[in-house]
Amino acid sequence: MGLTPSTRICAVGVSCTLSRRTILDDVSLELAAPVTVLLGVNGAGKTTLFRVLAGIVAPSRGTVTFTSPGRPTRPIADRDYSVGYLPQSPSPVRGLRVGDYLEYFAFLKHLPRQAARDQIGELLAVTGLEAERRTPTRRLSGGMMRRLALAAAVLGSPTVVLLDEPTAGLDPEQRIRMRELVREVGTRAPVLVSTHLAEDAAHVGDHLVVLHDGRVVRDQPMTHAWAGSGPDAAAVEQLFLAAVRQDDA
Ligand SMILES: Nc1ncnc2c1ncn2[C@@H]1O[C@H](COP(=O)(O)OP(=O)(O)OP(=O)(O)O)[C@@H](O)[C@H]1O
């Protein structure tokens, strides 16, 4: 569907049990544009939540739906909606160059040929990969591979975009570039982005969700993270620690 800025993805009472362990426990959240940051310690359940929101893993309980004004609430499998997903460790594909990789994703997403051509050109420019169009994906640096996978996730103008640790392992310059990209993507669709870095969270987020032991322990706007002239990573860190300690107490 054409992107409606007020389209939302909603999780209601989502629980997920894997190998008899409760990984997500009664998670409810609503994602709206532009960018929601998901913070959580290692093993908090962030990737599992992404996989549930992307429809890859079925929740044991609860629902994930899309809502748009004037339209009935739809399940995530509804073909009028789509999810763009950047996994935690995107891999190069042997034999595919950068341009081929995007064409392959455009094919998987059933994009008409001309729309695919236009969007691939635009996304290569936005991600700074224009000069790499003919580079084999195996030769890309980690940061370039993530930018390419992000372009693939955004192809076809998905209704919502899920980015699992897009800045992990990137050098400072690539991280700053990735943050700008995340903000850019947030102008196109609601974005959920996970990170371990309070600094990244402060720079990109409009809204903050803290996940701890599979439960949402904080869900609030990020306004506090802007101190005077700019984003304040220390404020985000304090908020995160307070939420987690309160939950542990
Ligand atoms: N298929 C599975 N079967 C059993 N347990 C799983 C499975 N997948 C994940 N887990 C467990 O669920 C918990 C949450 O994992 P998940 O990858 O969602 O956390 P995370 O917050 O993304 O962690 P990280 O920040 O380290 O990436 C972990 O303890 C993990 O071992």
- The structure tokens listed for 76 are 């995530």
Cβ(56) to ligand 1 under 6 A?
A: no
Name the closest-CA residue to atom 16, ligand 1. 45
Ligand 1 atom closest to the Cα of residue 50 is 18
pLDDT score of 227 = 58
Cβ(42) to ligand 1 under 6 A?
A: yes
* ipTM of the complex as predicted: 0.96
Mutate to test the pocket of ligand 1, among 14, 23, 24 (most ligand atoms within 8 A of CB): 23
Closest CA relative to residue 84, chosen from 118, 61, 108: 108
Ligand 1 atom closest to the Cα of residue 164 is 22
Cβ(45) to ligand 1 under 6 A?
A: yes
Give the separation between CA 176 and CA 188, rounded to whole angstroms.
Answer: 19
Spacing, Cα 6 to ligand 1 middle (Å): 31
In a 10 Å sphere around its CB, with 0-12 CB exposed, 13-18 middle and 19+ buried, how is residue 12 labelled?
middle
Closest CA relative to residue 129, chosen from 80, 93, 178, 86: 178
Spacing, Cα 215 to ligand 1 middle (Å): 13
Spacing, Cα 45 to ligand 1 middle (Å): 5
pLDDT score of 2 = 37
Ligand 1 atom closest to the Cα of residue 45 is 18
Cβ–Cβ contacts within 10 Å for residue 165, how many?
22
Contact 29, 59 (CB under 8 A): no
pLDDT score of 226 = 62
- Sequence-distant (≥ 6) Cβ neighbours of residue 115 within 8 angstroms: none
For the question of whether the overall pTM of this predicted structure is more than 0.95, the answer is no
Name the closest-CA residue to atom 28, ligand 1. 43
Cβ(212) to ligand 1 under 6 A?
A: no
Cβ(68) to ligand 1 under 6 A?
A: no
Query: Average pLDDT for consecutive 10-residue bins of the chain (249 residues)?
Result: 62 94 95 89 94 92 85 69 89 95 94 94 90 96 91 91 89 86 88 91 91 94 68 86 85
pLDDT score of 127 = 87
Question: What is the secondary structure of the chain as a DSSP string?
Answer: -PPPTT-EEEEEEEEEEETTEEEEEEEEEEE-SSEEEEE--TTSSHHHHHHHHTTSS--SEEEEEEE-TTS--EETT-TT--EEEE-SS----TT-BHHHHHHHHHHHTT--HHHHHHHHHHHHHHTT-GGGTTSBGGGS-HHHHHHHHHHHHHTT--SEEEEESTTTT--HHHHHHHHHHHHHHHTTS-EEEEES-HHHHHHH-SEEEEEETTEEEEEEESGGGEETTEE-HHHHHHHHHHHHHHHH-
Instruction: Domain 8-248: state its class.
Output: alpha beta
